[in-house]
Structure 1
Amino acid sequence: MKPVPLPESSPSSASNSSHPDNVASNSAEIGVPRPLGPRPLRVTHAVLSLDAGGLERMVLDLIDQARVQGHRADALCLERPGLLADQARKRGARVISLDKRLGVRPWMIRQARRALKDLKPDLVHTHQIGVLAYVGPAAWSLGIPVLHTEHGKHYHRRGTRWLGRVAARFAGIFCAVSQDIAEAAVAHRVVPARNVQVVPNGIPRQVYETVDPGEVATLRRDLDLPPEARIVGTVGRLDPVKRQDRLILGFERLLDRVPSARLVIVGEGPSRPDLEHLIAARGLGSLVHLAGYQNHPERWYNLFDVFVLTSASEGHPLSVLEAWASGKAVVASRVGGLPELIEEGRTGLLYDADDLDGLARCLAELLDDPETADALGAAGRARVAREFDAAGMFTRYIRLYQKLISHLVCP
């Protein structure tokens, strides 16, 4: 079986029909469908790794939802298994790592092909364009359809744009987690607008809705937080794009207005040494806590009075949804898909990414006015329940899976 080729899918054909306003919101035009009755599906999620991050946790949620709804999902890791691989296995997934080294390795396509022959999926779901470049051709050679999800904007460099245009040819449906990301892919002629779907992330919200006062008290005690401390917190990979350095500098300015404030940063990553040096250099060692990677981040959201995200680029971050599901007000930089996600003054506050005074002002406003913070958090929680539940996300994907499989024709 071979996928039906996409009509006019070459990058050159995207110039007229690929305006961002034309990005599809319901279905991709991939030919004339053939009826397909509901049946259990076997899906392989292809990722760089299952390291701790929003993309990877979203894949775990998809694996979990597949199990709950009677399907099967496995994981193919291009570079390494990652910290979350064991959690994927506990959810019933097989995890195969190709152990690709850095650099261009064309022969990895053959290894991906062998892995897919072993996993025998009905469909491959790739995440990030670099993964699609290797796993897409492997799947195509076996007649396995590919659905791709893009989680960020990576096309500012010519080489990445070229890679995206070539790799996208192997995706029957090209998804993005936010309108902002979809429009970027279309604007850079990576994919025609008619083939792009926007499928927002979802989370298992019930996990975040339960508050255990005993756990919160334990965390405060473990961090040696004084009773009067007001907690600003964030959860995410310690990475330059997350700009936790600017968070620390903005927090320093916040102390002039809210001396009782404390900052808790949950996560691990390559920026940790630089952040530790910055904290020490600014004399903030007793006020800023690097909590490291946590298996159960939901426990930490309940510790926070306000959640903050200071990224230089974001799509549709899980951490904002998790903070909302925990009933927390959100302060975030006005970048990427965040203005699309956050209704300013209703579900959170936004500030210009380079405005440290603006960051401090937003944080102080909510710490000084708990009633407003609670109202923003409650509105965010209601929105997650309406729009961003993990089961709803999986339902949207399963419909696209079935749509894509129904467009296969037998030789």
Structure 2
Amino acid sequence: MRILLITTHLNHGGIASYVVSLAKGLKERKHNVIVASSGGTLVEVLKKYEIAHEKIDITTKSELSPKVLFSMAKLFNPLRDNDIQIVHAQTRVTQVLSFWIDKIYGIPQVSTCHGFFKPRLSRIKFPCWGRKVIAISEAVKTHLIQDLKVRSENIELVYNGLDARQFPQYSSEQIQESKKWIGLKPGAVIGNIARLSSVKGQSYLIEAMSEVTKRFPDAQLLFVGDGKIKEELLAKVHELGLSKNVIFIPSIQDTSSVLALMDVFVMCSLAEGLGLSIMEAEAMGLPVVATNVGGIPELVKDNQTGILVGPQDSASIAKAIISLLEDRQSARQLGVNAQKNIRENFTLGNMITQTEKVYESVIT
């Protein structure tokens, strides 16, 4: 098949990682894949795999922005020259763009819903989901049906998948060298990989850390990511006297190398479609503490593959982290179970196969 994947940008994040993984997997199965976006750090990864990228100026959240029309005009030649059969959108504004491509050029549109959205009137009256919608979790599927009034027969559940080859084992020497480079001292490492945003709940993890350090004074919290609330989080760290226990580093492409440094992975989101970084942590065999919201319980089975806690509950987060640091054997077993779950149920191969079936259903 000849497929155009459209997203807003290709900077580090869940959607961009999904697009790159999907493009790579489809290309390996001999499909002709083009990615269109406003650009970003992951464009270099596409080049590495010889996947074409069309740069469009779609850096807007406005559905009525003239950038939508300009982008459609910019894509006319790639659509025609490559005889594109499917346009697959990832964000609201690219859904609107793909909707018009479908209506004007007759190229079927598919969209992936990666999370939860306010049921604004424009989303319900002018949905732009395309001929099929991919939901990345049962929770997202329910949200589409109940809140956004999408017909269930138009929705396909396709879990995100990982390529196990991207999550190797690291030697103790490599781990110690990386810890030294980042500035981590001896002691347990609790990690979080996410954009720094209120919806990701990092402030509750910092509050929890003030309790964790009472039991484990040498414990360190490593935040990996960028975002608008970094200064706010830094102020909270200083206020709680945790400056020696909390480290921030920017987003990185190779998440496995930093996950290898962690003893416990924590995700404190207030809402989450599924949780790519949770999947990555589980793929590395890490015990996970995560909030019981959105699609997370489909990834983390309480006391089987991790520990679930309530959102905005710093005390419960701290209790869960402390329990894992106190009982390393149980923590290791949770990690083993989590890794097995990912390797059996959340593979990139499964994701590609199911996505191919969605494409086939709209072009036949």
Match of residue 307, structure 2, among 334, 346, 349 = 349
After superposition, give the CA deviation of every residue in 1:166-209 in whole Å (9 maximum; x if it has no partner): 133x5111111011111111002431111111111111122113
Match of residue 155, structure 1, among 95, 118, 129 = 118
Match of residue 267, structure 1, among 225, 232, 247 = 225
1:331 aligns with 2:294: no
Match of residue 268, structure 2, among 310, 329, 345 = 310
1:110 aligns with 2:69: yes
After superposition, give the CA deviation of every residue in 1:65-105 in whole Å (9 maximum; x if it has no partner): 1221111222222xx31222222233222232224445343
Amino acid of the residue matched to residue 216 of structure 1?
Answer: I
1:137 aligns with 2:97: no
After superposition, give the CA deviation of every residue in 1:101-156 in whole Å (9 maximum; x if it has no partner): 45343533432332332222210111133321232122321010011110011034
Structure 1, unmatched stretches of 5+, are 1-40, 407-411
Match of residue 344, structure 2, among 386, 404, 408 = 386
Change (3 A) 1:276 1:343: same
Change (3 A) 1:274 1:206: same
1:128 aligns with 2:110: no
Change (3 A) 1:380 1:294: same
What displacement does 1:341 show? 2.2
Task: State the match for 1:72 in structure 2.
Answer: 32
1:43–1:122 contact (8 Å) kept in structure 2: yes
Change (3 A) 1:189 1:163: closer
1:165–1:190 contact (8 Å) kept in structure 2: no
Amino acid of the residue matched to residue 142 of structure 1?
Answer: Y
1:53 aligns with 2:13: yes
Alignment of 1:246-285 (within 5 A): 246-285=204-243
The count of residues paired between Structure 1 and Structure 2 equals 359
Change (3 A) 1:104 1:325: closer
What displacement does 1:52 show? 1.0
1:244 aligns with 2:202: yes
Residue 278 of structure 1 aligns to a residue whose secondary structure is: helix
TM-score normalised by length of structure 1: 0.83
1:146–1:172 contact (8 Å) kept in structure 2: yes
1:210 aligns with 2:173: no
What displacement does 1:210 show? 2.3
Amino acid of the residue matched to residue 184 of structure 2?
Answer: L
Largest Rg, 1 or 2 = 1
TM-score normalised by length of structure 2: 0.94
1:88–1:95 contact (8 Å) kept in structure 2: no
1:234–1:265 contact (8 Å) kept in structure 2: yes
Moved over 6 A (4+): none
1:113–1:138 contact (8 Å) kept in structure 2: yes
Which has the bigger relative contact order, CA under 8 A and spacing at least 6? 1
Amino acid of the residue matched to residue 363 of structure 1?
Answer: I
Considering only aligned residues, what root-mean-square deviation do their CA atoms show, in Å? Answer: 1.7
1:113–1:142 contact (8 Å) kept in structure 2: no
CA distance in 1, matches of 2:102, 2:55: 15
CA distance in 2, matches of 1:115, 1:212: 48
Amino acid of the residue matched to residue 351 of structure 2?
Answer: M
What displacement does 1:45 show? 1.1
2:68–2:93 contact (8 Å) kept in structure 1: no
CA distance in 2, matches of 1:100, 1:293: 20
Match of residue 160, structure 2, among 201, 207, 228 = 201
Residue 255 of structure 1 aligns to a residue whose secondary structure is: helix
Task: State the match for 1:42 in structure 2.
Answer: 2
Task: State the match for 2:56 in structure 1.
Answer: 97
Q: What percentage of residue pairs aligned between the two structures are identical?
A: 25
After superposition, give the CA deviation of every residue in 1:278-330 in whole Å (9 maximum; x if it has no partner): 22222211110101121211101111001000111101111111111101010
Structure 2, unmatched stretches of 5+, are none
After superposition, give the CA deviation of every residue in 1:360-396 in whole Å (9 maximum; x if it has no partner): 0000011111111111111111111111111211111
Amino acid of the residue matched to residue 43 of structure 2?
Answer: A
2:197–2:228 contact (8 Å) kept in structure 1: yes
1:178 aligns with 2:137: yes
Change (3 A) 1:104 1:216: same
Amino acid of the residue matched to residue 279 of structure 2?
Answer: L
CA distance in 2, matches of 1:43, 1:383: 30
Residue 277 of structure 1 aligns to a residue whose secondary structure is: helix
1:314–1:337 contact (8 Å) kept in structure 2: yes
